[in-house]
Amino acid sequence: MDDNNPEKLYYSISEVSAMLNVNASHIRFWEKEFEILKPKKNTKGNRQFTKADIENLKLIYYLTKEKGYTLNGANEHLKTKRKSTEKNMKILESLRKVRQFLVELKQDID
């Protein structure tokens, strides 16, 4: 997310798709399939995603793309095991950051 602008309340679908590295059409599809996704729409009908929406999208991405869940499986998993999934995803993100730091450190040493 844009940590340089903590006051930003809404993100466009193009910003969100860039964050997740997926097409905007993918996000629109997930919106239809997952009831936890309810982005606001402005008067022009453009989706406006909050930080909570983005966290939900990250969970969906994690379950479907990284863990291999079907859409129905991911939906059910979010209903029954959301907290543990959030925890596992945050741990994985932290480990990836540490790994990236170590890779960069190694490159600096070499």
Helix (H) or strand (E) holding 48: strand 47-48
Identify the pLDDT of residue 22. Answer: 94
pLDDT average, residue stretch 75-101: 89
pLDDT average, residue stretch 18-26: 94
Q: Specify whether the CB–CB gap between 50 and 85 falls below 8 A.
A: no
CA distance 71 to 27: 13
Which tokens go with 60?
A: 């969906």
5 pLDDT higher than 90: no
Is CATH 1.10.1660.10 correct for 13-81? Answer: yes
- SS3 state at 24: helix
Per-domain residue ranges of the chain = 13-81
Identify the pLDDT of residue 85. Answer: 85
